[in-house]
Amino acid sequence: MYRVLTVSREYGSGGILIARRIAENLGWKLLDSALIEAIVEKANIDPAVARRYDEKIDPWLHRVSRKALWHGAFESVAELSDNDVFDAQTMAVLTRRVIEEAAELGGCVIVGRGGQCLLANHPRAFHIFVHAPHAFRLKLLRERLGDRPDLEQAMETTDHQRADYIRLHYDRDMYDRHLYDLMLNTRRGIQMATRVVLFEMGFGE
């Protein structure tokens, strides 16, 4: 029986809604904002700093300077108290640790952040990718964020950032179908999509 679900998603496709409903249905822990909270506690940093670097990558010049100065010292980071030395790479290292710990315990839904790559060989993990047509995504985003003029740009930018994150940290293509047990189009509704995932995981009727 599966004990972990990873949810990768296009921005605005409803992936977080599906993740939330499945976590509630199964009584599992949802690791999205909760993952950030865990990192804030582990690293002893300002929550705003963690959110700023979540699923982001550092600029190229920063990565080059960081490697030259630190020679991988951050790979063994345990606790940080100085927000000035916290960056996207550090966030990624700590994110990986939290995901691994959560998967070991089981009973969790992990949203984004490379879970499908990190847990690719986990015997009790089920991996899905959620996508939707452009117009459907805009509709969901307007319902959540209001009719902002920058929604289309936000969709494109966020999708690129997420793909870059996977490419940099896992050397994989986020859209590679071989990473997933199920690729799901939500255009027929979030409720139906949720039922499909539960059924494929062995929890449906």
In which element (H, E) is residue 8 found? strand 4-9
Q: Where are the domains of the chain?
A: 4-200
Is residue 3 within 8 Å of residue 10, measured between CB atoms?
A: no
Q: For residue 101, give both structure tokens.
A: 């710990």
Q: Euclidean distance between the first and final Cα of the chain, in Å?
A: 15
Closest CA to 131 of 175, 195, 65, 87: 175
Residues 86-121 pLDDT 10s:
667 777 788 888 888 889 989 999 998 899 999 999
- Name every residue whose Cβ is closer than 8 Å to that of residue 143 and which is 6 or more positions away in sequence: none
Cα–Cα nearest to 97, from 115, 72, 73: 115
SS (H, E, C) 88-157: HHHHHHHHHHHHHHHHHHCCEEEECCCHHHHCCCCCCEEEEEEECCHHHHHHHHHHHHCCCCCHHHHHHH
Q: What is the pLDDT along the chain (205 residues), one digit of tens a residue?
A: 899 999 999 999 999 999 999 999 999 989 876 666 666 666 666 667 666 666 565 443 334 334 444 444 444 444 444 444 666 777 778 888 888 888 998 999 999 889 999 999 999 999 999 999 999 999 999 998 888 888 999 999 999 999 998 998 899 999 999 999 999 999 989 999 999 999 999 996 6
CATH number of this structure's domain 4-200: 3.40.50.300
